[in-house]
Amino acid sequence: MSLRSALVVAATAAATTAGLLTPVTPAAAAQGQPLVADPASVVDPFIGTTNFAADFPGADVPFGMVQWSPDTPHRPGSGGYEYNDTGITGFSLNHLAGAGCGTLGDVPFLPSVGKPDGTEITPFSHAEEKADAGYYKVKLSSGITTELSATTRSGMARFTFPATKQANLLLKLAGSHNAVTRTTVNVVGDNEVTGSVTTGHFCGSDPTYTIYFAARFDRPITGSGELTKLSPRVEPPDEEPDPPLDGPKGEYLTFDTTGNQVVQAKVGVSYVSVDNARGNRDTENRAWDFDGVHANAHKAWNDMLGRVRIGGGTASQQRVFYTALYHSLLHPNVFSDVNGQYIGFDNKVHTAAQGHVQYANFSGWDIYRSQAQLSAMLAPQQASDMARSMLNAYDQMGHLPKWTLNNGETYVMVGDPGTAVLADYYAFGARDFDTKAALNAMVKQASTTNDARPGQNYLTSPGYLPADGQWGCCSFYGPVSTQLEYSTQDFALSAFAGAMGDTANQTRYANRAQQWRALFDPDTGLIQARTADGSWDLDPKYQDYYFVEGTNWQYTGMIPFNVRGLAETLGGRDKLITYLDTLLAGFHGGGKVSDMGNEPSLGLPWEYDFVGQPYKAQRVVREVQNAIWTDQPGGLAGNDDLGTMSAWYVFSALGMYPLIPGTADLALGSPVFTKAVVSLPGGKTLTINAPQAAPDAPYVQSMTVNGARWNNAYLPASTVSAGGTVEFALGKAPNTSWASDPSSAPPSYGGNGQPFVPHGALSSAGSGRCADVIGSGVADGVQVQLWDCNGKVPSQYWAAPGDGSLQAMGKCLDAGDSGGAEGAKVRLFTCAGNKAQQWQVKGGALVNALSGRCLEAPRTTVHNGTLLEVHACNGTKAQSWKSPR
């Protein structure tokens, strides 16, 4: 898809601080620097190849099956390449960008001269190395030059050897990143070799996969033989020895280069069969034209990267941006062959629907926070097929992908991210999939305890995942983190159900999403672990068991769908501001410091938008960009996590971020570049103008959207579908009044799936005490009592979302005991929209629609612990309430 024409720049954005800026006119905006014409040439694949980012520098195309890239001895994570290493062990055919655990790196080829050995680690210098989008080149110390490029399902190499009769290509079949259990290899005729490798066990998980390859050369093979030993992998000290290998460790192929020093190779891969690998290769790369393959790969990247055209900024910033965008669009990966066949999660061969592609490698815990949204916005056709692929996986294994590698579910990380990913795809414009089937899958998954949602049964009773529950049930770990993930994914499900017109499930799961409140400890002011008996477990030695890749401080802010509710729970906007100020004083820490190189902290800076201080979001996001993102090999903190970190940068550099999974709401920061033009699904275009953008000018002075003055710290969800023109006026000093009013905050979503409704005490006029959920419970049937009013406790937060219900702890006040008979106790139950949960305000009384009786604090006992009941309405103070309506 080529870049679509930009909308005409609309109206003036003028500074609100006198003397700080001059007015911006459309003519002035148009005079900015030209848009980058060849973004693929700006990409630097060496960014992120050290400092544990675990990216790789080799050749690929967008979402391709093949990533032909060099491997070095230390091979951190899944990228296979450590920039600080000085030797190359081989050039393997597949890689992941920063998955955090080692994987893939299958079928390494290593060129050599002389007697083949298999243990070679060939020295090289970065001065002899070059890479851009779709191309890699290095001259080894052996004098051999290797050039690599790729099509979707095949790789092409050009090896330039010294003149010799002993030019070799070593196929290190057992040289995958993880242990290989089976290999096959066959030399076919005089110019082809085929085979397979079986490996897997990503992050220590059970699944394995088999990759098949078929390599053809442009000249005869003059000799071949088995490799009996390989250079060892650098393994962690506690890694178990490799299991026995069925098959050869490798094969060497020899060529005579005395007359022609160039040997070309075309290698097709498949996860189904050797024949399919051959078919992929011969269909996608018919000629012996390396430069043509390189040019096509470059064009494929320009077509994709060109969907975001930027102008202005420094050369370094442009490199960082387009490299981040490049990394964002590497995964998930094409998994079906040119004939449509792919191996499913049931280990059977399936065929993708005509005109569609099956995708693999969904790192759900990571990508639902930014990468899924970006890929849907820029590549809706591919992202729609990714959604279809997830539904195919659901049919084959009974749940949506959690963290899948090829055709295996690894169950790495926590939560139910597949639900959020599907909702993200839809919200950002990828909609060519069976949305009814998707909603059915989400609801079924969220309503039963299963492999994708272990421990979910606890959401009914006691209403949260208990810290002591993980030891005896359900194979879940990190109970606090898992609970918060389930809450976020319940909200994403709610948002998707709402988009589908299913108001019942929208309400049900929006309400259940609020059960995060059950883990808020009012004494510490933090989200904490809680045991099944309701007590708090604050033992420091167990915190790593309760929180996954983060601390209680970092996770307390991870309520992206209801930041306003979080502020209220903490004790007000000022409390949340203090929390954010403390946490965001640093970006690479533990304890009370954020870790902006890891997912649980990614949304934290944007929460300033919700508390009237968007200027702090603008400052902190720019500080994070400058601290973490550079155009050097170490210019990315933490693992890239299949493009998640990179997608965060892309969004933030455009001046916005999709904080709330399942919606297209965009919290605002400020742009890095003077201009950006984004192609959107449906043929629309979003133009972002920021003529004063500079590294030291992150502060928004004023904005217009489609020519109208805009004083909100977010862009409307319709921006993703409708596009338009956004004008930023930026400066070096904060404008603390811009978008500071509570009404200017992005949406927060409380119960009922609707924008936030303020919570407050439900206080009794007769006793002066408040309605209190016993034990802050969220199990169905928990009773409600009178207790001394304490604004700090979530058990006394009540909401009236406008549907007739009164809600606390994500459940509805229900008078259904004994049909609402005289004296029946009221309880909390899952919101169902029935009459037992409907209340009307009449003269200060709360009248239940089922029974016609009034909520009462019994007059004879007005002490703490008195249970609330319904009685015939009598107009007394015992039935007089001040509600949060």
- Within a domain: 645: yes
289 and 355 both lie in a single domain: no
The total of structural domains in the chain comes to: 3
Is omega for the bond preceding 332 within 30 degrees of 0, making it cis? Answer: yes
pLDDT in tens, 655-682: 999 999 999 999 999 999 999 999 999 9
pLDDT value at residue 240: 63
Same domain, 766 and 651: no
Q: Which CATH number do you get for residue 394?
A: 3.30.2080.10
CA-to-CA distance for 648 and 98, rounded, in angstroms?
14
H helical segments located in 156-289: 274-284
Per-residue DSSP letters for 482-524?
A: HHHHHHHHHHHHHHHHHHTT-HHHHHHHHHHHGGGGGGEETTT
Write the CB contacts of 27 (distance below 8 Å, at least 6 apart in sequence).
none
Say whether both 377 and 285 belong to one domain: no
Give me the DSSP letters along 642-668: TTHHHHHHHHHHHTEE--STTS--EEE
Burial of 472 (0-12, 13-18, 19+ CB in 10 A): exposed
Res 28: pLDDT: 37
**Predicted local confidence at residue 233, as pLDDT:** 59
pLDDT value of position 167: 98
Same domain for 212 and 177:
yes
On whether both 475 and 580 belong to a single domain, the answer is yes
| Whether residue 499 is found in the same domain as residue 449 | yes
> What's the pLDDT score for residue 471?
53
What are the residues facing 725 on neighbouring strands? 687
Runs of H (alpha helix) within 136-175: none
Nearest to 121 by CA among 229, 255, 275: 229
Which pLDDT belongs to residue 540? 87
Q: Which domain holds residue 452?
A: 308-332+351-731
Q: Which phi and psi angles does 92 have, rounded to 5°?
A: -95, 165
CATH (domain of 842): 2.80.10.50
- CA dist 663 and 714 (Å) reads 13
pLDDT at 857: 87
Q: How far apart are CA 813 and CA 831, in angstroms?
A: 8
Query: How far, in Å, CA of 15 to CA of 25, rounded?
Result: 12
Identify the three-state secondary structure at position 42: helix
Q: Which DSSP string do the residues of 707-751 spell out, in sequence order?
A: TEEE--SEE-TTHHHH-EEEEEEEESS--TTTT-SGGGSPP-B-G
Is 365 inside any structural domain?
A: yes
Are 322 and 261 contained in the same domain?
no
pLDDT at 17: 28
Distance separating alpha carbons of residues 398 and 405, to the nearest angstrom? 16
For 371, the 3-state DSSP assignment is helix
Judge whether 747 lies within some domain. Answer: no
401, 453: one domain = yes
Domain membership of residue 313 (yes or no) is: yes
Low-confidence ranges of the chain (pLDDT < 50): 1-31, 235-238, 472, 885
Kindly state the tokens that stand for 740: 């500071």
From 62, 265, 43, 48, select the one nearest 147 (Cα to Cα).
265
Q: Look at residue 238 in the predicted model and tell me its pLDDT.
A: 47
Same domain, 295 and 313: no
Strand partners, 771: 786
For the domain that residue 61 is a member of, what is the CATH number?
Answer: 2.70.98.10
Residues 698 and 819 in one domain: no
Separation CA 861–CA 849 (nearest Å):
26
Residue 36 placed within a domain: no
Whether 133 maps to a domain, the answer reads: yes
Q: Is residue 788 part of a domain?
A: yes
Rg of the chain over all Cα atoms, to the nearest angstrom: 29
In a domain, 21, yes or no: no
Structure token pair of residue 326 = 């490049």
Domain check: are 106 and 178 in the same one? yes
DSSP secondary structure code for residue 48 in this structure: T
Please tell me whether residues 703 and 765 are part of one structural domain: no
The pLDDT value given to residue 859: 67
Buried b (16+ CB within 10 A) or exposed e, 96-133: bbbbbbbbbbbbbbbbbbeebebebbbebeeeebebbb
Domain boundary among 731, 766, 795: 731
| Residue 530 CA: distances (Å) to CA of 483, 553, 563, 632 | 11, 15, 22, 43
